[in-house]
Chains A and B, each alone.
Chain A
Amino acid sequence: MAKTLKKETSKKAAPAAKVAAAPSISPIPESPLVFERPDKFNQVNHSLTKVDSMGLVCAQQKYVADLDMQGLLHIKVLGSPHAHAVIKSIDVKEAEKIPGVVAVFTYKDVPRVVRTTAGQGFPEPSPYDTCLLDSKVRFVGDRVAVVAAETPEAAAEACTKIKVQYQVLKAVFDPERARDKDAPVIHDEKDCRVPIPIFYDPKHNHCSHVETAVGDVKKGFKQADYVLEKTYYPHYAQHCPIEPHICMAYLDENDRLVLRTSTQVPFHARRITAQTLGIPVKKIRVIKPRIGGGFGTKQEVLLEDVCGLVTLKTRRPCIWALTRAEEFMAARTRHPMVITIQSGVKKNGAITAISMRIISNTGAYGSHALTVLSNCGSKVLPLYRAENIEFIGDTVYTNLPVGGAYRGYGATQAAFAMECQMDEMAEAIGMDPIKFRQLNHIKEGESSPIFKALGEGREGVDMAIGSCGLSKCITEGMKRIDWAKKYGKPGTGSKRRGLGMCCLMQGSSIPEIDMGAVFIKMNEDGSFNMLLGATDLGTGSDTVLAQIAAETIGCKLEEMIVYSSDTDMTPFDVGAYASSTTYLTGGAVINCAKKVREQIEAVAASMMGEDMKNVTIENGVCYGKGRKNKVTFGQVCNYAMYEHKQFQIGAIGSHISHASPPPFSAHFAEVEVDTETGEVKLLKYVAGVDCGTAINPQLADGQTQGACMNGISFALTEEYIFDENGRMLNPNFGNYKIWSTKDMPELETFLVPTYEKTGPYGAKSVSEISINGALPAIGNAIKNAVGVRITRPPFTAEKVLTAMKELVKPAKAAAKEPKAKAGVSKAAKPAKPAVKAEKPAKATAKKATVAGKKKK
């Protein structure tokens, strides 16, 4: 099925060049809407060995730092000790005298170019509010000066010798106070702006605003038997790739700047570095070698500008590697949020209205401020049927570490709020939380108005759900966690057990925006070089995409030689983000490999004297009609190279996605809560995922397990602790606890196969979704065990114990008060979220224990 040429262009989108009337046969390729479903899979849907794995375990694969370079300079950046200050004067003379110091740069030495480091497509939906170096600092750790020296020690010493006079300004740390009249303005510079026509009000620390409504929530609340409101506070977190950010720069033989960098977005990194340094794109080559994990933080173009500056100014190679403390404080984080949900539910389980109001804290710079916020709605609200939905979101600046892309991308935060709220609603109407979800979740063939209403800085794309295995994820997960037997039986004694669950969805790529491209050429032994712009940062995308290519061409995975992400060598790809690579670039691989296959068929037909339509391919061999004639791939390539009408068998293929089909997932947690200490022990965790066809089930399973563990440790132990001046007090693994083997619960994951016809061989995304489950599933399990709803994660012993103590107090007091007062605001009211609206529920569970108001 071919897509018609007519394509919706949003009114809000940036002005594009005027398009001439399309000729009848356009050289502009059309991306297919659906991909053919083969009778059977030979290469995809098999757990084939990851193509780079042996090289990785034998340390033959090279990361950024693994290249030896003569005369390498080491960079150290002086970070701000203040959360908000103006640099009154800066003196680098003493620093320059340190033996080995080659150059010191401050804001005075670089041109002022405002741009965003967000690493998104152009024009970016993030504000241009960040400079290479600025005369103002906006969070503790913000850049003050750059030192390049012969040794890391000399660079570090020089940083201590830079004399800076700061005029310390009042800072704002509370996102709920950031827009107050007396709040200090963090971006008072005149030149900050957004490159696309969207809301931006930096004078009030107001970075972005999203508002959409479907139906009429007021009416919906009136129809409800219960209206519930609660505010949730998902917290700061860091990605913690084991390899911190690192970038190396050098000049090549043609005096071009080469950046060898730990990036998820080599092409965006090239574009943004060119923009920052004021040099043409053609002067820069970005190479992505092996990357030691990213999870979103390496979408940020953070180090490349400084390294480029040093190399261009000194004409010497340089390297900048963040320390772990710098990674915590000055790289990127998960946007913490204040999420207020008001929802109306009928006794029969129908959800009449959902209002989601969010204040997202982007810290000192607006990286991904708008899109993470939009994603809170677009990747969470469509999951359940409700006729009346309202989404109002605001992102604010504060003088805290900067938010950015982090696996889950807003869905993590909003799913926590929504899925806790689902349990609260179920409890209010006395329905089993699973039955309540089964009654309401979206199914195949259904759509949600939210898909169109919420896009990325512009209108979204309307779509119907083509594949949904959520029901199976739920029923299978219930069995594995033993829900029927264990739910609602906390036991007696000091340790109580509880079960909790949640349902999730995500997306697969950003539709009508993201593009990926692939180049494949054939070699004379029947092997192929596949050059990918897509960025394997450990996810296994090199392998998955090679499997798709092998499947399409008709050979084995071993015949594909993959080289990914080098802006000089490989075609463009947006990079590794938005759960896009398998779904999006996988489509490009099919488009490309089909062309290659056609060329092979044509040459084989000519060699065998057969009609091309009779040529079949199997495992690297072309057969003629009735299998009488055959030629191998090697023979085909040799013929094309040396014998007749010589040409290179090869092609380039691109793809844009027209939809973003959600993967679905159900997560289950079993906890044991010590009522004497408040300690939560996670006993078992089960996650089932529908990612369409798993191109490589073992890798898809690995993505799920890794995401689950990251989510679990986020829910239970990971926490940023700040002092009163906005300095993070625990920027190290000793005090910021990410889980290791001894912390593990029994972890069970499973895949539920479906077929998504818009995806390559039926695939949807898998990498992000499973990080979203642990916060709500464990939160709900704690509620189930001891009756407390913790709305401010992580669920530490201290918080659980405090909540349990508070539960006893008001429960006694509430007995004297009329029931209707139990903490609900009127349906239409909440212009500002009820900030400290954590009304504890009663301990006795089951009967109308939620802070809800019965209306009829």
Chain B
Amino acid sequence: MKLNTRINGKEYCLEIKPNAMLIDVLRQAGFKGVKFGCGEGSCGACAVMINGRPRNSCITLAGAAEGVEILTVEGLGNPEKPHVLQQAFVDSGSTQCGYCNPGSLIAAKALLDSNPNPTAEDVKDALDGNLCRCTGYVKRIDAVLQAAEASKKTRKSTRGKK
């Protein structure tokens, strides 16, 4: 069957099997930032944003993504122009093996979109579904708070210019 969907702002028409999982379809389409960790929706490595909300793509049927807007970590930024969250993850030392980073960044992006001024508790709530075995989470929570702070400054300065 055909799947019509928007991924990172671009229209895609993908040939899929009816029982295909979104994680496999996205990876086959080249979005390797979507990682396999558990296959049952409990580690968050495969998280992508669907219509603005973080979803584990390993337990999402690809067919359910018909007509939706998907954001993967590739759509967030690149080394030349990283997203403020990606830069914060780098600066704070939140990256060790990095395998859980794409999913965590998506969860963090979803948080900041809905709550630009999160507390540390808000960050812990939002990232709880993204397991990390390397870092102990401390630096990652700092990173999201730093990114929120940096975004605020950017917003203020752009408002100031207007």
Cβ of A434 to closest chain B Cβ, rounded Å: 24
Is the CB of A813 closer than 8 A to any CB of chain B?
no
Answer whether residue A320 sits at the interface, using C-beta atoms and an 8 A cutoff: no
Contact call A61/B98, Cβ cutoff below 8 A: yes
Specify which of A54, A291, A707 lies most central, judged by the most chain B CB atoms within 10 Å of its CB: A54
* B25 part of interface (Cβ distance < 8 Å): no
Known: A240-B131, A242-B43. 9 other contacts (CB 8 A): A54-B82, A57-B90, A243-B97, A291-B97, A324-B38, A324-B39, A706-B96, A733-B38, A741-B140
Question: By the criterion CB–CB under 8 Å, are A538 and B98 in contact?
Answer: yes
Q: Indicate if A66 sits at the interface (CB-CB under 8 A).
A: yes
Closest chain-B Cβ to A111's Cβ sits at a distance in Å of: 33
The 8 residue pairs across chains A and B that have the minimum distance between CB atoms: A538-B97, A59-B33, A56-B98, A292-B99, A705-B136, A709-B136, A733-B42, A741-B124
* A734 contacts across to B, CB distance below 8 A: 40, 42
Contact assessment for A50 and B93 in the assembled complex, using a CB-CB cutoff below 8 Å: yes
Q: Does A486 contact B (CB under 8 A)?
A: no
Q: Which of A52, A62, A240, A744 contacts B133 (CB 8 A)?
A: A240
Which B-chain residue is minimally distant from A241 (CB atoms)? B133
B74-88 Cβ-contact flags toward A at 8 Å (1 or 0) = 101111001000100
Cβ–Cβ contact A733 & B133, under 8 A:
no
The residues in A between 29 and 83 inclusive whose CB is less than 8 angstroms from any CB of B are: 47, 49-50, 52-63, 65-66
Contact indicator A741/B82 (Cβ below 8 Å): no
* Proximity bits, A733-754, B CB within 8 Å = 1, else 0: 1100010111010010100000
Asked, given contacts A63-B99, A242-B100, A705-B138, whether A698 binds B42 with beta carbons under 8 Å apart, the answer is no
For the complex, is B62 an interface residue (Cβ under 8 Å from A)?
no
How far apart are the CA atoms of A62 and B90 in the complex, in Å? 17
| Bound CA–CA A537/B133 (angstroms) | 12
A residues with CB within 8 A of B: 47, 49-50, 52-63, 65-66, 239-244, 290-293, 295, 321, 323-324, 537-540, 698-699, 701-702, 704-710, 732-734, 738, 740-742, 744, 747, 749
1/0 contact string of B91-121 vs chain A (CB within 8 Å):
1010111111110010000000000000000
Inter-chain CA distance A477–B129, complex, in Å, is 31
> Which residues from A are CB-within-8-Å of B72?
59
Q: A292-B97, A699-B93 known; A58 and B127 CB under 8 Å?
A: no
- B78 touching A702, Cβ below 8 Å: no
Tell me how many residues of B have a C-beta within 8 Å of chain A. Answer: 53
A702: which of B27, B32, B134, B141 is its contact (CB, 8 Å)? B134
Tell me whether A740 and B130 are in contact (CB under 8 A): yes
B73: interface (CB < 8 Å): yes
Report the nearest A residue to B79, measured CB to CB.
A54
Q: Which residues of B contact A293 (CB under 8 A)?
A: 96-97, 99, 133-134
Give a binary string over B119-153; 1 marks a CB under 8 Å from any A CB, 0 the rest. 00001110111111111111111000000000000
Select which of B45, B82, B90, B136 is within 8 A of A708 by beta carbon. Answer: B136
| Min distance, Cβ A590 to any Cβ of chain B, angstroms | 24
Closest chain A residue to B30, Cβ basis: A68
Q: Is the CB of B128 within 8 A of A59?
A: no
**Beta-carbon contact of B37 and A324 below 8 Å:** yes
Contact digits for B11-34, partner A, Cβ 8 Å, 1 yes 0 no: 000000000000000010001110
| Chain A residues, CB < 8 A from B74 | 58-59
- B35 close to chain A: CB less than 8 A: yes
CB<8 Å pairs between A and B, sample of 16: A54-B90, A57-B90, A65-B32, A242-B43, A242-B132, A243-B97, A291-B97, A324-B40, A702-B134, A702-B135, A708-B136, A709-B136, A740-B132, A741-B127, A741-B128, A747-B136
Check if B96 sits within 8 Å of A538, measured CB to CB.
yes
| CB contact between B128 and one of A239, A324, A709, A740 (< 8 Å): that residue | A740
Given A50-B90, A733-B131, A740-B129, are A241 and B137 neighbors across the interface (CB < 8 Å)?
A: no
Contacts of B127 in A (CB 8 A): 740-741
Among candidates A290, A698, A732, residue contacting B98 with C-beta atoms closer than 8 Å:
A290
Alpha-carbon distance A291/B134, docked complex (angstroms): 12
Q: How far is the CB of A530 from chain B (nearest CB, A)?
A: 20
The residue in chain A whose Cβ has the minimal distance to the Cβ of B89 is A57
| B residues less than 8 Å from A705 (CB atoms) | 135-139
Do A57 and B36 form a contact, CB below 8 Å, given A293-B134, A734-B42?
no
Q: Are B124 and A742 in contact (CB under 8 A)?
A: yes
Q: Given the complex, which residues of B lie within 8 Å of A241, measured CB to CB?
A: 97, 99, 133
Bound Cα distance from A607 to B87, whole angstroms? 42
- Chain B at the A interface: SS class: loop
Specify which chain A residues have a CB less than 8 angstroms from the CB of B141 in the assembled complex. 741
In whole Å, how far is B24's beta carbon from the nearest beta carbon of chain A? 9
The answer for the CA separation of A747 and B133 in the assembled complex, in Å, is: 15
B98, B125, B128: which has the most chain A beta carbons within 10 Å?
B98
Partner of B96, one of A239, A539, A732: A539
**Shortest CB–CB separation between residue A130 and chain B, in angstroms?**
26
Which residue of B78, B93, B102 contacts A698 across the interface (Cβ within 8 Å)?
B93
CB-defined contacts of B140 to chain A, threshold 8 Å: 741
Does the CB pair A706–B134 fall under 8 Å?
yes
User: A706 with B136: in contact, given A50-B90, A56-B98, A290-B98 (CB under 8 Å)?
Assistant: yes
CA–CA, A239 and B139, complex, Å: 21
Cα–Cα distance between A53 and B98 once the two chains are bound (Å): 8
State whether A732 touches B40 (Cβ < 8 A).
Answer: yes
A243, B129: Cβ atoms closer than 8 Å: no
Q: Are B139 and A243 in contact (CB under 8 A)?
A: no
B38 partner residues in chain A, CB cutoff 8 A: 324, 732-733
Contact of A60 among B37, B78, B99, B135 (CB under 8 A): B78
Are B139 and A702 neighbours in the complex by a CB distance under 8 Å? Answer: yes
Per the bound structure, the CA–CA distance linking A321 and B78 in Å amounts to 28
CB neighbours of B76 from chain A (8 A)? 58
User: Are B37 and A53 in contact, CB atoms less than 8 angstroms apart?
Assistant: no
Distance in angstroms from B36 CB to nearest chain A CB is 7
Expressed in whole angstroms, the Cα–Cα distance for A239 and B35 within the complex equals 18
Whether the Cβ atoms of B40 and A733 lie closer than 8 Å is: yes
Taking a contact as CB atoms under 8 Å apart, the answer to whether A740 and B137 are in contact is: yes
B100 contacts which chain A residues (CB < 8 A)? 242, 292
Q: How many whole Å from A534's CB to the nearest CB in chain B?
A: 15
Distance between Cα atoms of A538 and B132 in the complex (Å): 12
A702 — which chain B residues lie within 8 A by C-beta?
A: 93, 96, 134-136, 139
Q: Which residue of A lies closest to B121 (CB)?
A: A742
Chain B residues within 8 Å of A62, by CB: 32
